[in-house]
Chains A and B, each alone.
Chain A
């Protein structure tokens, strides 16, 4: 009897504790449809792609303090922006590295040993993603919750839900909602203005430049979706079955696109299209000019009529994609969107949201 009483008491206490903690529990459904429960907002997270630090810096003034481990890709792809982060947050140098850029380089054992409260992966990413079954199974077995976000596979469908998710699991809902409201206002403006207008869709030829060569043009999906959304026509989408492919320049010349757009990430002194953090307008101008001075670009009407534009490539995989969308809208329909200025959009993001403002040239029009 005595024993029973003790057991009952214990049960009551435990039950109460469980109820109390359940009140704190956060349950979300992530982008790929998995239900994930956290006991409390995560303060120590793993980033499946290091560059997601930029996303965190929309939500937290010290994004580095949240990161318990990450892949090494931000150091390699971030260029001068990485240096700036490093200067502001010296602790960043001490973030444990869980792998290099590719998903096969990630060590699950390392992740588990870091005892994070949460792992944030992209649904489709250079790091571990929704197809990395082994990593998912091992982390779940170790009791480490994973959420999948997505800014890459379907940027327009998934950016807002992804930000909502991040707001919830990191306990930064206010910041997330503020950004979502800002994002939506820009997004809706473009969508509503185009609605019912039935404007002719200007043809866009876009190429992604890496080093001396271009790695291809967008087909269906990702950057192709951006072009589609702003009421333009991506000529790559008519031909290429996948996300990225190589177009025959002969086809491009015969299509006579109205607009030429390049994306780049080169830093000064390296071959390619120089644009991004710390790059001056003059440097970007000169480097874009070189791209369209190639003999194969000369017959393009877009080049002859100076409808040549460029932007920083990494907008494609980030909630900052809205700034690139504004740029594309402005370039595709300058009359309709003459009040839209991507540099202004980025300025607002810098001032109101980003922990580390983007300095440099991100959008440009060839003069």
Chain B
């Protein structure tokens, strides 16, 4: 009898969560459609979708606007939001810290250092096409920083605290090095770097979308596969161990996933903060701590926040584009605050 009740409750909760996920998914699709439909040239919705599905029939200007301006911008917004939010969720669980974001352990500062090296000193991998230098440098530094962090934390004893403290130390070190590079930069390079670090979706193209999309597609299955263990880790390190989970190994691979996602996103669009912090929280507030649900929910809520930010960055001053990194916080904060208060009322 009692087990029946528990079963029933479990099923109900399961169904409610599925429904919430579905709702989130539908919102993402709707907002994405709005994002594509919004632009300074006030194209009719029918024309927009006709051009998407039959590009050859449209005139050159319309085709380029849809396929080279609007779609890359909007699709990149979805992908960046999804990647950073997923990375944020993993980071928060791994470090057992609700304040953590993909940028907590210095990944973004490392990416900025790599980008600054390419922009200020033209230093990159020899033989690399200079057009990829900034992105490749940002990626190498971001990914490398997490590997270095893993190595250092292994040397300096175990525990999540050491990891966080070392990460913070690295964050400050990278920021200081970026500061020195800014000091020696020419005025023009400095301007270019500031522009890069504000974060912008205007740099998106189909190549970068393919790369980021593939990284997400490769990383996500591993995240999902680990979601059981991650949920156990949410209960505390000791209870996770008592389930027979190798916490160190779990943490290591989670950080590898985080750094892959973050490094790739930052490499292409610059540092877009906040979505990696707020995306996972929106997901958890809506759906709870169970990673099997909070993980897809974080992916969707991150994509949703970035899609909204993308609309705002184009619509606030039609014809101009405001840096999306600046807009994201302005869009994310109200959703976040509303969720916190509506939960308290319950």
Q: Which residues of A approach B to under 8 Å, CB–CB?
A: 72-73, 76-77, 100-102, 105, 126, 210-213, 215-216, 238-241, 245-251, 253-254, 265, 269-271, 295-296, 298-299, 313
Question: Smallest CB–CB gap between B179 and chain A, Å?
Answer: 11
CB-nearest residue of chain A to B133:
A271
Known: A102-B182, A210-B191, A248-B69. 8 other contacts (CB 8 A): A210-B192, A212-B134, A238-B319, A246-B202, A246-B322, A251-B320, A253-B64, A296-B69
Question: Smallest CB–CB gap between A276 and chain B, Å?
Answer: 12
CB-nearest residue of chain B to A217:
B320
Complex CA–CA separation, A100 to B184 (angstroms): 6
Complex CA–CA separation, A139 to B2 (angstroms): 84
Complex CA–CA separation, A210 to B185 (angstroms): 13
Q: A73-B186, A295-B68 are in contact. Are A250 and B192 (CB under 8 A)?
A: no
- Please determine whether A295 and B183 come into contact, CB atoms closer than 8 angstroms: no
Q: Which residues of B approach A to under 8 Å, CB–CB?
A: 39-41, 60-61, 63-65, 68-70, 119, 122, 130-131, 133-134, 182-192, 195-196, 200, 202-203, 314, 317-323
A296 neighbours in B (Cβ, 8 Å) = 64, 68-69
A126 neighbours in B (Cβ, 8 Å) = 187, 190
Closest 5 CB pairs of A and B: A76-B186, A251-B319, A239-B319, A299-B61, A126-B187
Question: Smallest CB–CB gap between A14 and chain B, Å?
Answer: 47
- Please determine whether A251 and B131 come into contact, CB atoms closer than 8 angstroms: no
Q: A76-B185, A102-B190 are in contact. Are A248 and B61 (CB under 8 A)?
A: no
Contact among A101, A211, A238 with B119 in the assembled complex (CB-CB below 8 Å): A211
B183 neighbours in A (Cβ, 8 Å) = 100, 102, 105
Question: Smallest CB–CB gap between A72 and chain B, Å?
Answer: 8
Complex CA–CA separation, A189 to B17 (angstroms): 74
Q: A248-B39, A251-B40 are in contact. Are A239 and B320 (CB under 8 A)?
A: yes
- Please determine whether B192 and A211 come into contact, CB atoms closer than 8 angstroms: yes
Complex CA–CA separation, A42 to B110 (angstroms): 47
Q: List 29 A-B contacts (CB under 8 A).
A: A72-B184, A73-B187, A76-B185, A101-B186, A105-B183, A210-B188, A210-B191, A210-B195, A211-B119, A213-B203, A215-B192, A238-B319, A240-B320, A246-B322, A247-B320, A248-B69, A249-B69, A249-B202, A250-B65, A251-B318, A253-B41, A254-B41, A254-B61, A270-B130, A271-B131, A295-B64, A296-B69, A299-B63, A313-B188
Select the residue from A101, A105, A298 with max chain B CB neighbours within 10 A.
A101
